[in-house]
Amino acid sequence: MTSTPGFERNKTQRTVLRVLGVVLLLAGAYLLVTGGMAFADDASSSDVDGGFGPILRLGAGGFLAVFGLGALNAGFLGAQARYAAGETMPVVKDSAAYLSDGEGILGVGRTAGPFCSRCGVRNDGDATFCDSCGTALH
């Protein structure tokens, strides 16, 4: 089983943000729907009440929905970053290998040179020692 990335405190913060985001989003959706229905009833009614209740409820619902989406975004930011890295890094690696004729750019995309038998890192073609662990290359 793999461990959850980040510190233990971050795990708690992510959980709080996720729960808070869902609660705020549901409350915002409820206020948006009820405020919209009340606003439509007031707009079609011949009585002029003059109250700001429905429009304030719509506004509050909108703000709660936006804050809920923001909290959910912050709560799932690590998962989004891991997904984006998994999608983009293979392309970056292939592009770096293509553009640099196998030498790589800052070590990304290196396809030329020996592998280290100890740690498995690919090194420069003329390297005597591993860049990562310092073991002599054969």
Crossing angle for the helix pair 53-75 and 8-44, to the nearest 10 degrees: 160
**Residues near 34 by Cβ (< 8 Å), separated by ≥ 6?**
57, 61
pLDDT at 125: 76
Instruction: Specify the higher pLDDT residue, 66 or 104.
Output: 66
Instruction: Give the structural domain span for 46.
Output: 8-75
Q: What percent of the chain has pLDDT over 90?
A: 35
The yes-or-no verdict on residue 36 having pLDDT over 70 is yes
Q: Look over the chain and give the mean of its residue pLDDT values, rounded to a whole number.
A: 84
pLDDT at 14: 92
Q: What is the pTM of this model?
A: 0.59
The DSSP symbol for 138 reads: -
pLDDT at 105: 65
Q: Name the 3-class secondary structure at 130.
A: coil
- For 7, phi and psi rounded to 5 degrees? -80, 165
Q: What percent of the chain has pLDDT over 70?
A: 83
- Asked, for residue 32, whether it belongs to a domain, the answer is yes
Residue that is written with structure tokens 């959980």 in the block: 15
- Distance, CA of 10 to CA of 6 (rounded, Å): 6
Which amino acid, 111? T
Domain total in the chain: 1
Which amino acid, 63? F
- Asked, for residue 35, whether it belongs to a domain, the answer is yes
- Asked, for residue 42, whether it belongs to a domain, the answer is yes
Q: What is the rounded average pLDDT of the residues 91-114? A: 69
- Asked, for residue 101, whether it belongs to a domain, the answer is no
Write down the H helix ranges in the chain.
Answer: 8-44, 53-75, 77-99
pLDDT at 1: 47
- Asked, for residue 113, whether it belongs to a domain, the answer is no
